Amino acid sequence: MLGNLLAMLVVIILLCLGVWFGLDIYTHHGEGIEVPSLDNMTFDQAKVLLGERNLEIQVSDSGYNKRLPADIILAQTPGAGMRVKSGHVVYVTVNSPSSPTVIIPDLIDNSSLREASAKLAAMGFHLLEPQRVPGEKDWVYGIISRGRRVGTGDRITTEAPLTLIVGTGGYEDDIDAVDYSDMGVNEESAESATTAPEEFAEVGDPVQTEAPAAESSDAAQ
């Protein structure tokens, strides 16, 4: 009886040891390949280097740095110096050939200068000195990018500086800055100017026709 128990105990111990060492062999315990640094490498160069070490590479994201050429690796995971198993995938972020475009949010006639400036700056835009127009003080009435107006929903590169059109807080003081060329009051004035001479001409005609008749009657007397 005791012998059977000892035999069962030995079998259990051997099974545990077998599983332990078997897992080590299966998972390559203790084996590790050092991940090299991929800084300043193109994707193709990094692929060759990692391939020589039995490692894989995959693009996980893209960024933009205008001081670096396109396709340069900006970041990697795992980082340089980490030890991984054979066949492990190294995920990289590569440099985009052009700057990203961002959708202009709903700011026009919907926010103050302070709110709009903070939001656009957080999105990566560079803001120029605001353009002032008559209207509610520091209220955003428009956005200009590279000489043209942009609106909500437009896609703009973050490299393009933006100018916010904001109110001065005054109306009468800035009246000279307003363009009245298309307003109806000017059209009425123009019509008055063109019709006035005709009215004077109609009044003047009878006077001119009656005067010679009076002169001729005096001469006859």
CATH at 150: 3.30.10.20
Residues 112 and 92 both lie in one domain: no
pLDDT band at 28 (very low <50, low <70, confident <90, very high): low
Q: Is the pLDDT of residue 76 over 70?
A: yes
Cα–chain center distance at 98: 13
Q: Is the pLDDT of residue 205 over 80?
A: no
Residue scoring higher pLDDT (80 or 8) = 80
Q: What is the domain count for the chain?
A: 2
* Within-domain flag for 7: no
pTM over 0.75: no
pLDDT value of residue 217 = 41
* Within-domain flag for 77: yes
* Within-domain flag for 117: yes
102 with 123: CB under 8 angstroms?
Answer: yes
pLDDT value of residue 195 = 37
pLDDT value of residue 190 = 34
List all residues 6 or more positions away from 132 whose beta carbon is below 8 Å from its beta carbon: 166, 167, 168
Q: Is the pLDDT of residue 171 over 90?
A: no
Residues 132 and 173 both lie in one domain: yes
H, E, C per residue of 96-130: CCCCCEEECCCCCCCCEHHHHHHHHHHCCCCECCC
Element containing residue 192 per DSSP (H, E): helix 184-220
Q: What percent of the chain has pLDDT over 90?
A: 51
pLDDT value of residue 99 = 81
* Within-domain flag for 12: no
* Within-domain flag for 221: no
Residues 80 and 143 both lie in one domain: no
- Would you tell me how many other CB atoms lie within 10 Å of the CB of residue 123? 14
157 with 100: CB under 8 angstroms?
Answer: yes
**Structural domain containing residue 78:** 32-97
Q: Which of 64, 97, 130 is the last residue of a domain?
A: 97
pLDDT, the chain, mean? 77
Q: Is the pLDDT of residue 68 over 80?
A: yes
Q: Which of 97, 123, 140 is the last residue of a domain?
A: 97
pLDDT value of residue 124 = 87
133 with 177: CB under 8 angstroms?
Answer: yes
* Within-domain flag for 134: yes
pLDDT value of residue 63 = 86
Cis status, amide bond into 69, omega within 30 of 0: no
Residues 93 and 108 both lie in one domain: no
Q: Is the pLDDT of residue 135 over 50?
A: yes
Length of the chain in terms of residues written? 221
* Within-domain flag for 183: no
3-class DSSP state for residue 92?
Answer: strand
Reference 167, options 118, 129, 132; nearest CA is 132
132 with 166: CB under 8 angstroms?
Answer: yes
